[in-house]
């Protein structure tokens, strides 16, 4: 098997707003769309995001442990920019931290089972040499 994509759930009421944020602020492009889901990819990467519309009334209390993660030299500032973008569109969004190098954005009304994380690039330097086939 070969890794293809990761799927998360967005509240149906805020689905299009979050998709617009990923496209306009982070450069994601739409790969495929159905009535319930969308597949997105950020150019230069090889992992796709699938978001499905959800009507769930409750949110995962432990969702900060499930992230869509990005690398940034300025992770807190990058997430603050996304939070401001979301807030300007009426979506409550806050930035928190796991450490002084790892931060997360939560938009509780929209993100059902995840947060958006941004971390410093050195945290992704694992020292593992991976041979691609």
The confidence score (pLDDT) of residue 1 equals 85
Does 67 map to a domain?
yes
Nearest 5°: phi and psi at 61? -65, -25
Does 46 map to a domain?
yes
Does 133 map to a domain?
no
- CA dist 22 and 53 (Å) reads 16
* Average pLDDT for 107-129: 91
Q: What is the pLDDT of residues 49-100, one digit of tens each?
A: 999 999 987 777 788 889 999 999 999 999 999 999 999 999 999 999 999 9
- CA dist 69 and 116 (Å) reads 6
Number of domains present in the structure of the chain: 1
Q: What is the pLDDT of residues 28-51, one digit of tens each?
A: 999 999 999 999 999 999 889 999
pTM to 2 decimal places: 0.89
CATH number of the domain that residue 47 is part of: 3.10.180.10
Does 50 map to a domain?
yes
Farthest-apart Cα atoms in the chain, separation: 45
* Average pLDDT for 100-127: 93
| Cβ neighbours for 91, distance < 8 A, ≥ 6 positions apart | 14, 17, 107, 109, 110
Cβ atoms of 114 and 68 closer than 8 Å: yes
Does 132 map to a domain?
no
Q: Which burial class, exposed, middle or buried, applies to 8 when counting CB atoms under 10 A from its CB (0-12, 13-18, 19+)?
A: buried
Does 130 map to a domain?
no
Domain that holds residue 67: 5-55+62-124
Pairing of strands 48-54, 37-41: antiparallel
């Amino acid at each position: 098997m070969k890794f293809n994509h990761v799927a998360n759930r967005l509240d149906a009421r805020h689905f299009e707003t979050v998709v617009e944020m990923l496209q306009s602020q982070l450069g994601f492009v739409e790969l495929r769309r159905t009535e319930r889901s969308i597949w997105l990819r950020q150019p230069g990467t090889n992992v796709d995001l699938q978001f499905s519309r959800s009507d769930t009334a409750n949110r995962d209390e432990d969702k900060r442990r499930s992230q869509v993660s990005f690398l940034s030299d300025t992770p807190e500032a990058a997430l603050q920019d996304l939070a401001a973008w979301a807030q300007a569109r009426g979506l409550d969004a806050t930035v928190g931290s796991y450490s002084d190098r790892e931060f997360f954005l939560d938009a509780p009304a929209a993100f059902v089972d995840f947060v958006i994380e941004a971390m410093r690039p050195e945290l992704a330097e694992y020292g593992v040499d991976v041979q691609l086939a």
